[in-house]
């Protein structure tokens, strides 16, 4: 009898050891790959998890490990924001209206968990914030006047070797010489700097169209033009393309829909402007995907526009309805179904703990 009790005790101890090892594995190797909303919920699991998730080192690891598009901020008008989550159970922010900022703002750009917002009073100050943690910074006043509808792009690439979030904000603003100049804010330097590059030519940028790919920023302009600014050499260039600009697999793309087909034009050659005349080398390669005409709830899926594109994530508009579309699974889900989307805009968001 005593031997039986002793054996049972050994098995129980062994099972407990397995449980503890699994808990340690989850804590050390899995938590950092989860979104911010889930992590805040997991702080209630135990004191050890609460302490770990609250440390700057964990926030640094999570911002490098979790890069998935979690949803979109929708703004029907300046100062009126809401959050459209791709998975409400997993992704979210505590204050989608951004009331934690010192003034009402207009969301301008986003990058890997950070938002760039512009104040609606005084000189339209810029704010960089993380809506998951409610941390924010007010940037110093730019050297040049950008106006209430600036063409700004936020660039933040998390780095394992940098514990402080270093980002850049780039604005293309109208030049007195009838073109565009470029002003750059660097968080590492804490100041603005006007580039020596001036783009001279007939070009009118759309303010909220900027995207960043491999060190180059692209803005949509009127008459199917695209203005590019290379951050490395600080040179601008004009392309001819069409559709909504997005970045898929690190390459600039122009996307559009027509007759149940999604057309994707990929920028394949950035040097066609310097090629000899009658060269067979093309600037764009065109691909298309046939869209299923069925939508969630039995509705007919007939999109008439692309509002956003990043890797496998698209936002398509069909009348008064916004759909999220996964290019890998070919699955469409309703994001929003309201009349206000016609005049509103969306900005993507990654549910990150990045510390600023």
Q: Do the Cβ atoms of 91 and 113 come closer than 8 Å? A: no
pLDDT value, residue 278:
43
pLDDT value, residue 299:
64
In the numeric block, which tokens belong to residue 236? Answer: 């601008």
Please check the confidence at residue 272 and state whether its pLDDT lies above 90.
Answer: no
pLDDT value, residue 341:
62
pLDDT value, residue 337:
83
DSSP annotation of 15 reads: H
Looking at the chain, the domain(s) classified CATH 2.120.10 span 67-350
* Residue that the structure tokens 């067979």 belong to: 280
Query: How far is 49 from 32, CA to CA, in rounded Å?
Result: 11
pLDDT value, residue 20:
56
Mean pLDDT, residues 62-82 taken together: 91
Question: What is the percent of the chain with per-residue pLDDT over 70, rounded to a whole number?
Answer: 88
Task: Work out the mean pLDDT of the chain and round it to a whole number.
Answer: 87
The residue with greater pLDDT, 82 or 17, is 82
Please check the confidence at residue 1 and state whether its pLDDT lies above 90.
Answer: no
DSSP per position, 243-279:
SEEEEETTEEEEEEEETTEEEEEEE--TTGGGSPTT-
Q: Sort strands 126-130 and 235-240 into parallel, antiparallel or unpaired.
A: unpaired
CATH fold label, 67-350: Neuraminidase (2.120.10)
Please check the confidence at residue 29 and state whether its pLDDT lies above 90.
Answer: no
Instruction: For 154-191, write each residue's pLDDT tens digit.
Output: 999 999 888 888 999 999 999 988 899 999 999 999 99
Instruction: Provide φ and ψ at 23, rounded to 5°.
Output: -60, -40
In the numeric block, which tokens belong to residue 155? Answer: 């660039």
Q: Sort strands 151-156 and 167-175 into parallel, antiparallel or unpaired.
A: antiparallel
pLDDT value, residue 274:
42
Instruction: For 283-318, write each residue's pLDDT tens digit.
Output: 899 999 888 877 666 666 788 889 999 999 999 988
> Whole-model pTM?
0.88
The residue with greater pLDDT, 167 or 149, is 167
The torsion of the CA quartet 351, 353, 355, 356, rounded to 10 degrees, works out to 20
Query: How would residue 80 be classed by pLDDT, with cut points 50, 70 and 90?
Result: confident
């Amino acid at each position: 009898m005593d031997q039986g009790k002793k054996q049972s005790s050994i098995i129980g101890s062994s099972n407990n050891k397995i449980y503890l090892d699994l808990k340690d594995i989850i804590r050390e190797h899995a938590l950092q790959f989860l979104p911010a909303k889930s992590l805040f919920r997991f702080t209630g699991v135990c004191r050890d998890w609460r302490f770990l998730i609250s440390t700057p080192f964990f926030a640094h690891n999570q911002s490098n490990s979790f890069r998935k598009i979690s949803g979109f901020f929708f703004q029907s008008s300046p100062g009126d924001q809401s959050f459209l989550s791709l998975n409400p159970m997993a992704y979210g922010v505590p204050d989608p209206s951004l009331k934690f900022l010192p003034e009402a703002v207009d969301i301008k750009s986003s990058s890997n968990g950070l938002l760039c917002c512009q104040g609606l009073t005084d000189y339209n100050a810029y704010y960089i914030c993380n809506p998951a943690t409610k941390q924010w910074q007010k940037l110093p006043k730019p050297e040049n006047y950008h106006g209430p509808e600036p063409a700004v792009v936020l660039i933040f690439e998390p780095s394992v070797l940098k514990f402080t979030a270093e980002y850049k904000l780039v604005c293309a603003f109208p030049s007195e010489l009838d073109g565009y100049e470029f002003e750059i804010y660097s968080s590492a330097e804490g100041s603005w700097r006007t580039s020596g590059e001036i783009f001279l030519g007939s070009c009118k940028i759309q303010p909220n169209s900027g995207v960043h790919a491999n060190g180059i920023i692209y803005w949509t302009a009127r008459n199917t033009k695209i203005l590019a600014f290379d951050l490395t050499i600080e040179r601008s260039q004009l392309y001819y393309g069409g559709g909504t600009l997005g970045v898929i697999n690190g390459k600039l793309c122009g996307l559009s829909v027509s007759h149940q087909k999604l057309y994707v034009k990929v920028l394949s050659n950035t040097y066609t402007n310097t090629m000899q005349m009658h060269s067979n080398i093309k600037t764009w390669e065109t691909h298309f995907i046939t869209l299923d005409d069925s939508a969630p709830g039995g509705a007919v899926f007939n999109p008439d526009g692309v509002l956003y594109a990043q890797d496998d994530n698209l936002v398509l508009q069909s009348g008064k309805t916004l759909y999220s579309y996964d290019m890998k699974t070919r699955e469409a889900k309703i994001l929003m179904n309201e009349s206000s989307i016609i005049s509103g805009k969306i900005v993507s968001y990654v549910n990150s703990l990045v510390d600023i």
